[in-house]
Amino acid sequence: MSIEVNNESGVSVDEALIASVARFALDAMRVNPAAELSIIAVTLDVMSELHERWMDEPGPTDVMSFPMDELAEESRRPDAPEMGPALLGDIVLCPEFAKAQARTAGHTLGDELHLLTVHGVLHLLGYDHAEPEEEREMFGLQNKLLTEWRVARERAAAVEAQRRSDSAVLGAVGLEDS
């Protein structure tokens, strides 16, 4: 799976973790591994322009998703089993806008950007939250994916810490035997 992350926002973001959460969500949704995704972090001004141009709403927003035209039709969701390799589209994040949301939610900017990335991925896959039932489905899936990604990261970190510890012990034992 090809995921390109570009930060043009002027705000420091962990591009590798943004790609990681996007990849996890796409894998969990069984999107073809040959699919391509572009994620860009932009300034408030750029996001305002995009929001006004494409949503006809003034001011910036936190995230926008731009699915490729050939995938816009609901019957061709890229997580459908018959879909082959595809260019999914673009996710546009606005870290400066997301900062205030992160503070309000009581978590870090990174946590907010991870949530927004998964949110954007789900929009690219045809999910929406215009109606209450759609919102429950999309936000439930969003929370499930984020929780599973965090658990997987914690497990990987624990395994790596154990590996480093084992290597240090084995290295020290090898020095004593010399």
Sheet holding 2-7, edge to edge: 2-7, 36-41, 87-93, 63-67
- The class level of CATH for 2-177 reads alpha beta
SS3 of 107, please? coil
User: pLDDT band for position 175 (50/70/90)?
Assistant: low
User: pLDDT band for position 34 (50/70/90)?
Assistant: confident
Unique residue bearing structure tokens 């497990």: 155
Look up the pTM and report it: 0.84
What's the whole-number average pLDDT of the chain? 89
Q: Would you kindly state where each structural domain of the chain is located, as residue ranges?
A: 2-177
**H or E segment and range at residue 41:** strand 36-41
Q: What is the pLDDT of residue 74?
A: 45
Q: What is the pLDDT of residue 77?
A: 54
Q: CA end-to-end span of the chain, whole Å?
A: 47
Strands (E), 42-134: 63-67, 87-93
Q: What is the pLDDT of residues 73-95, one digit of tens each?
A: 444 455 555 555 578 999 999 99
Q: What is the pLDDT of residues 129-167, one digit of tens each?
A: 999 999 999 999 999 999 999 999 999 988 888 888 877
Res. 102: pLDDT tops 50: yes
The average pLDDT across 101-118 equals: 97
Share of the chain above pLDDT 90, in %: 72
